[in-house]
Amino acid sequence: MTKATQTPVPRTPRGQRAKHDTATPKKSTPKPKPTPKATPKAKADEPKTPKDKQKLSTDSAPSAKRRKKTDGDLESRVFFNSRLNAHEADTEQFQPTREDRQLYDAARSAAALEEAKVTGCAVDASTPASTPGAVSVGYRVKKIRIGSYEIDSWYISPYPDEYSRHPLLYICEFCLKYMKSSYTYTRHCQKCTLRHPPGDEIYRDGSISVFEVDGRKNKIYCQNLCLMGKMFLDTKTLYYDVEPFLFYILCEYDARGYHFAGYYSKEKRSVQGYNLSCIMILPSKQREGYGKLLIEFSYLLSKKEGVSGSPEKPLSDFGLLSYRSYWRRAVYEILLHVGERARVVTIDAVSRKTGMTVDDVISTLQTDGMLQRKGVSYAIVVDKARIERFVELAREKAPRRIDSSKLRWAPFLTKNTTVVQEDDGDISV
């Protein structure tokens, strides 16, 4: 076999095109161009040049070096109309350090211990003073200052925590705003323009006035009133939801204004027929007949509405004593006055004349042993001498009484009932 010999192809010098032979070379298929990869954008914070790197390193230097560099800029600026220089206007030097925080925690712990000695409440020593809830929840207001009286509290009232920590609370006797310090109280008394409760005066007899305050129209005043009332009422649970209630404020009038003495509240729409929800007389005004005066006033409003009323149960200890005393006096006066004209009196008749419910009338008669059973029915057995002696002793004390002719009031809700005016002789059968 003979080997094929290849003729060598001469190389083309640079810069000249190669002269091809007559034979056409094979066409090569063009390769697809690779798509250029997207280069990630440089971050704004990433330094691009050595100068940028040097600038970044100087910016991350400590604040002391940065202050040295910017002293020239600060000195050229004007602070507070040139009242402060650059050094005085620089606030970075006043940032609290770790030693400052330790001193603050130690001072706060010492103040909490000192306050615990005054209030008699324990402090959890294991909890840092700077942690919320370090002080025990046993704090309560021990005294209140209202007007010229300083009164000891009887029960715990849910005042805000910053006020409950103070053993003495100052209360304005006109707007009932509570304050923590005597300085704030003195300043408030000089600026307070209110001289009577924010309501309508519906009764006035001499120096005694009664105002009707709507809980929806004067919400803040009624909430402050309920918080103060809780300090002397154990069974009171209403503090902030005052909109469904009406408040009747008893005041004493003098040249300075109408001074708070007590109050009672009732629901605007009572399903059970209650004419009184809670009643409170300031301890400084007790034993002056104001409790029975407000009770009699509540029954006067019930008779004006043409319905019988009863207090909301359960009653407090002092409230129960006051109501039993008033019920006895009201029933005895009716029996003594009507017994002179009629021989037989019904319980319904006594209820209509006094405004009391039938249950309250029966309870009063049973307590005094004047309701006896005869066969299948009950009869009221009246001891006239006993009733006359009781009424005479009650009149000797000269109690405060309500004069119905001085009432200027219309019912909040009117009912479709007809009130029948009856004479004394018409209530006997």
Q: Which candidate, 153, 156, 155, places its Cα nearest to that of 171? A: 153
> Do β-strands 149-152 and 143-146 pair in parallel, antiparallel, or remain unpaired?
antiparallel
Residue 384: CB partners within 8 Å, gap ≥ 6? 336, 339
For the chain, the farthest-separated pair of C-alpha atoms sits apart, in whole angstroms, at 167
Cβ pair 392, 399 in contact under 8 A: no
| 266, 218 Cβ separation under 8 angstroms | no
> Angle 317-339/384-396 helices, nearest 10 degrees?
120
Tell me which residue of 220, 223, 215 sits closest to 248, measured CA to CA.
215
Q: How far apart are CA 235 and CA 237, in angstroms?
A: 6
Instruction: Output DSSP code: residue 224.
Output: H
Backbone phi, then psi, for 315, in 5-degree steps? -90, 150
Report which DSSP code applies to 294.
Answer: H
Give the pair of three-digit tokens for residue 59: 């910016």
Number of helical H runs and strand E runs in the chain: 12, 13
Catalytic residue among 99, 312, 388, 396: 312
CA atoms within 13 A on the CB side of 412: 19
How far from the centroid of its chain's Cα atoms is residue 425's Cα? Answer: 52
Q: Which residues contact 247 (CB under 8 A, 6 or more apart)?
A: 199, 212, 213, 214, 215, 222, 225, 263, 264, 265
Q: Angle at Cα 51 formed by Cα 47 and Cα 55, nearest 5°?
A: 75
Residue 312 annotated to the active site: yes
Is residue 233 within 8 A of residue 155, CB to CB? The reply is: yes
For residues 176 and 230, what is the distance between their CA atoms, to the nearest angstrom? Answer: 14
Q: Which residue has the tokens 């604040």?
A: 63
**8 A C-beta contact, residue 251 and residue 259:** yes
**Residues that are catalytic:** 312
